[in-house]
Amino acid sequence: MPGKAGSSTGSQTLGRGIRLLEILADAGRSMTIDELAGSLGVHRSVAYRLLRTLEDHGLIAREATGRIMLGAGLAALAAGVSHDLQQAALPELKAAANELGMTCLLVVAHDGAEAVTLISAAPQQSVAVAYRPGHRHPLTRGAPGKAILLERDDKLWPADLREELTLAGTRGFATSHGEVVPSLWSVAVPLMIPGQPDASIAAIHVSLPRSEPEIAERLGTAAKAIARALGG
């Protein structure tokens, strides 16, 4: 049927456009059209048309050199995601970041298998690690994702992580070193709020200025404050 064929084509175009945004987000840098076309597996002309549409909507932008980067329009869209959760979390993240001297993150589960950084806060008086919202990685890698797994039935835990997650569950926090970004340490605690996505609060840095339990305790205080603000 012609209608079905058109629908299929439209879905493919939309899917490719979304995938281009994901490629740019995962890269964490600007990219050339040729790089994007190669990553997407399409001809340069197809990538160009997709990018023109995304640019029209402010979702991508071009540097003076012509390289492609994520656009400011994405920030407006992201601001509406779990808006109440973001509002409640940001002041707590800022306070924890300044006290710990570490960048603090609010991370949520996406599509059941990924951890996505929703917002981040860097300390004001110390060298900060930049960690942009939208950063994604598997739940099975890094402390933020593993802290989210602690909220789930242990029967659903991956077999190769069962021992690590059991220990993390006993302690009440997860840790990692270099699993997502080389050289970065991370400590994270679960954030459980009814009606909100599975989430965690994490602190990251190139070193640990305090012991892991001390960092986790401060993050736990932030998590409780966020939960109270949302009626949890």
Q: What is the pLDDT of residues 69-123, one digit of tens each?
A: 888 676 656 655 567 888 899 999 999 999 999 999 999 998 788 898 888 999 9
* Predicted TM-score of the model (pTM): 0.72
> In the structure, how many helices (H) and strands (E) does the chain have?
8, 8
On whether the CB atoms of residues 155 and 122 are closer than 8 A, the answer is no
Rounded Cα distance between 167 and 213, Å, is 13
Distance CA 99, CA 102 (A): 8
**Residue 44 tokens, joined:** 């340069």
Q: Would you say the C-alpha torsion 147, 150, 152, 156 has a positive or negative sign? A: positive
Reading the chain (232 residues) residue by residue, the pLDDT tens digits are 334 344 455 578 889 998 898 888 777 789 999 999 999 999 999 999 999 999 988 888 898 899 998 886 766 566 555 678 888 999 999 999 999 999 999 999 987 888 988 889 999 877 778 787 778 889 999 999 999 999 999 999 999 999 999 999 999 999 999 999 899 999 999 999 888 889 999 999 999 999 999 999 999 999 999 999 988 6
- Cα separation values, 154 from 62, 140, 166, 189, Å: 46, 13, 8, 16
